[in-house]
């Protein structure tokens, strides 16, 4: 029998425990923001590819260390874990890159197919971008546009489904000392509804707020090297609520969904 998991409790613990984990990991957050600021500034160095690459690697490493520290604060201190968590994150990025590429590619070519099927516009290979955009906008309120939006929603649903199924991979990797990615799939199988509901409050909402704040920030920062650095650092800091609540919810879900907890609940029940 599968124990029922409350989305409300996941949200509550995610925010409370995530915020509590900020203090012990403030130094790693500062390092992450500093690396992000330097990376943003390095992108504006004309003709220099080594600096952005080096800073991208440094930013990735700082982000992994922050994530490792947050999970250790949330589920208990664990030795090591940096390389395992790096491995797990890279595997997740590659998986989403793989699925995202095919979904994105299909969504890029689908409008041309639908516009041609509609027959209102005849767009050749040399069609002006303005004409293509106009044809696409006029197609959206039609049944052809509905088909496009339906396919786009299906593509997003696929990515969201995999994101939910991978909710536990970071916490499991830190707790068990080796990379756990698709091994956590069976653990979330019966809990997609509470995970999805909790993710709206701990992942989607703070991430959307961070995107909006970052867009507003880009409009006011000066067009200088210092401005780019501040934009990169502040851009990371604006997503701190997303990072804290996301890690907190994932840790709370892991405590409930890991096989040992499920087995113990079954025996107690």
Looking at residue 113, its pLDDT comes to 84
Q: Give the domain extent around 91.
A: 7-268
Mean pLDDT of 4-13: 93
CB atoms near residue 117 (< 10 Å): 11
Give the total number of structural domains in the chain: 1
Burial string for 230-243 (b: 16+ CB within 10 Å, else e) reads: bbbbbbbbbbbbbb
Looking at residue 2, its pLDDT comes to 57
Is 1 contained in some domain? no
Is 2 contained in some domain? no
Backbone dihedral angles phi then psi of residue 219, each to the nearest 5 degrees = -80, -15
Judged by DSSP in three states, 220 sits in coil
Mean pLDDT of 201-219: 92
CA 244 – CA 227 distance, rounded (Å): 26
236 or 113, which is more confident: 236
Mean pLDDT of 166-184: 92
Tens of pLDDT, residues 16-63 = 999 999 999 999 999 999 999 999 989 887 767 888 899 999 999 999
Tens of pLDDT, residues 95-127 = 999 999 999 999 988 888 888 887 776 666 666
Is 80 contained in some domain? yes
Looking at residue 94, its pLDDT comes to 93
Looking at residue 1, its pLDDT comes to 47
């Amino acid at each position: 029998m599968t124990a029922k998991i409350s989305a409300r409790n996941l949200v509550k613990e995610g925010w409370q425990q995530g915020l509590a984990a900020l203090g012990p990991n403030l130094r790693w957050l500062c390092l992450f923001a500093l690396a992000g600021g330097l990376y943003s500034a390095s992108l504006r160095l004309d003709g220099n590819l080594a600096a952005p690459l080096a800073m991208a690697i440094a930013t990735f490493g700082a982000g992994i260390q922050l994530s490792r520290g947050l999970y250790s604060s949330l589920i208990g201190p664990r030795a090591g874990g940096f390389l395992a968590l790096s491995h797990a994150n890279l595997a997740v990025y590659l998986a989403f890159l793989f699925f995202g590429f095919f979904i994105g590619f299909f969504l890029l070519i689908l409008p041309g197919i639908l516009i041609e099927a509609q027959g209102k516009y005849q767009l050749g290979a040399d069609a002006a971008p303005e004409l293509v955009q106009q044809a696409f906008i006029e197609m959206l309120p039609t049944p052809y546009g509905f088909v496009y939006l339906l396919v786009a929603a299906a593509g997003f649903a696929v990515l969201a489904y995999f994101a939910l199924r991978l909710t536990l991979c970071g916490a499991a990797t830190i707790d068990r000392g080796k990379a756990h990615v698709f091994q956590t799939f069976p653990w979330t199988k019966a809990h997609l509804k509470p995970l999805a509901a909790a993710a709206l409050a701990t992942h989607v909402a703070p991430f959307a707020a961070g995107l909006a704040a970052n867009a507003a920030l880009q409009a006011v920062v000066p067009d200088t090297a210092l401005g780019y650095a501040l934009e990169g650092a502040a851009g990371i800091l604006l997503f701190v609520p997303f990072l804290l609540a996301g890690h907190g919810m994932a840790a709370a879900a892991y405590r409930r969904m890991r096989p040992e907890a499920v087995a113990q609940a079954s025996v107690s029940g």
